[in-house]
Amino acid sequence: MIRIGGFLVGIGFTVVVLFSFIMGAYNFATEDKVGAPEYEFYKKPKDVAFAQDGAFGKWDLAQLQRGYQVYKEVCAACHGLQYVAFRDLAQLGYNEDEVKALAAEWINVPDIDPDTGEAIVRPGVPTDNFPSPYPNNVAAAAANNNAIPPDLSLMTKARGDGTAYVYSLLTGYGPIPEELTAKYPEFDTPDGLHFNEYFPNLNIAMAPPITTKDQVTYADGTEATISQMSQDVSAFLAWTAEPKMVERKQTGWVVMLFLLFATILAYFSKQQIWSAAKPKKTK
């Protein structure tokens, strides 16, 4: 009975799925293939190397400090960093007093007036998280033509190959390439959007944020080219997304080496134990 029932069920599912297959294949063969510029002209992130890459990678603290400066002077106007606290900046090589001073530079940390209970803003202290530039999403949407600037805390983990993606996006603005216009004459960048071939649908709401050389004056004297600033802020955002990354890899090496050693021991132990049961081949 089970086999007869199974046979019927199996044939049933097969017939139905093959019906879908035939219908789908017919449509596929007869329908005009509509190409889409977003598929053909979207580019994978650029190949860009960072100090923290690879199994032995370590943060370049000077770069992270520069990246913080770019974030503060350029990105922070629209993008928050809500999961990062000022105290975390100590990991970039700042001492306690410097962290306090850096936190106090952010004068828009929301709080409640202890006397009146009214909402106020005050300068940050190390225990505060980075303040968001907008009080809420509605305000963010209203101020930005309905495109809410995303929080950047986790940006490099929230995109495939995220660090390179951020770098590519920042340096990927430009005119619509001629091949695209030739192939899709109706393709256009609407008002208020900007063409960027590293953005999945090619038109991004964010205006080019890093546009001129020396837009930021680096404290350490590094030449602030567009590429340099973009790379620094990408590295900084890789750190905000995963501050424990280097610690994780370093712990990984200790664990892997120990496991390798233990596994080799376990292998010889197993061989030794099994030698007692080794078949005595009579052939």
Partner 1 sequence: MAEMNGEDGVRRRDFINIAAVSAAGIGGAGVVLPLVSQMAPSADVLAESSTEVDVSAIEPGQAIKAIFRKQPLFVKRLTQAEIDEANSVDVSSLREAQTLAERTKEGNEDILVTMGVCTHLGCVPLGAAEGEVKGEYGGYFCPCHGSHYDTAGRIRKGPAPTNLEVPEYEFTSETVITVG
Partner 2 sequence: MSFPWARQYEPTNGFMKFLDERLPLPRLVYNAVGAGYPVPRNLSYMWNFGVLAGFFLVAQIVTGVVLAMHYAANAEVAFGTVEHIMRDVNWGWLMRYAHANGASFFFIVVYIHIFRGFFYSSYKAPREMIWLLGVVIFLLMMATAFMGYVLPWGQMSFWGAKVITGLFGAIPLVGEPLQVWLLGGFAPDNAALNRFFSLHFLLPFVIAGVVILHIWALHIPGSSNPTGVEVKKESDTLPFHPYYTAKDGFGLGVILLFFAFMVFFLPNTLGHPDNYIEANPLATPAHIVPEWYFYPFYAILRAFTFDFILSAKLWGVLAMFAAILVWFFLPWLDRSPVRSGHYRPLFRKFFWFGLIPCMVVLFICGGAPAEEPFVMISQIATAYYFLHFLVILPIVSSIEKPEPLPYSITEAVLGEDEDATLGATAAAKA
Q: Tell me the backbone φ, ψ of residue 109, rounded to 5 degrees.
A: -80, 125
Contact region with partner 2 (CB under 8 A), list: 69-77, 94-102, 172-180, 270-278: 270-278
- The SS3 assignment for 110 reads strand
Which of 75, 78, 84, 85 binds partner 1 (CB under 8 A)? It is 85
Decide: is 145 part of the binding site for partner 2 (CB under 8 A).
no
Decide: is 36 part of the binding site for partner 2 (CB under 8 A).
no
Other Cβ atoms less than 10 A from the Cβ of 118: the count is: 8
Decide: is 116 part of the binding site for partner 1 (CB under 8 A).
no
Decide: is 35 part of the binding site for partner 2 (CB under 8 A).
no
Decide: is 244 part of the binding site for partner 2 (CB under 8 A).
yes
Enumerate residues 6+ apart whose C-beta is below 8 A from 230. 166, 167, 170, 171, 210
Decide: is 87 part of the binding site for partner 1 (CB under 8 A).
yes
Distance, C-alpha 221 to centroid of its chain = 28
Contact region with partner 1 (CB under 8 A), list: 136-144, 181-189, 192-200, 261-269: 261-269
Contact region with partner 1 (CB under 8 A), list: 11-19, 50-58, 204-212, 268-276: 268-276
- The SS3 assignment for 203 reads strand
Closest to 42 (Cα-Cα) out of 204, 186, 201, 160: 201
Site string for partner 2, 46-85 (x = CB under 8 A): ---------x---------------------------x--
Q: Do residues 151 and 218 touch, judged by C-beta distance below 8 A?
A: no
Decide: is 110 part of the binding site for partner 2 (CB under 8 A).
no
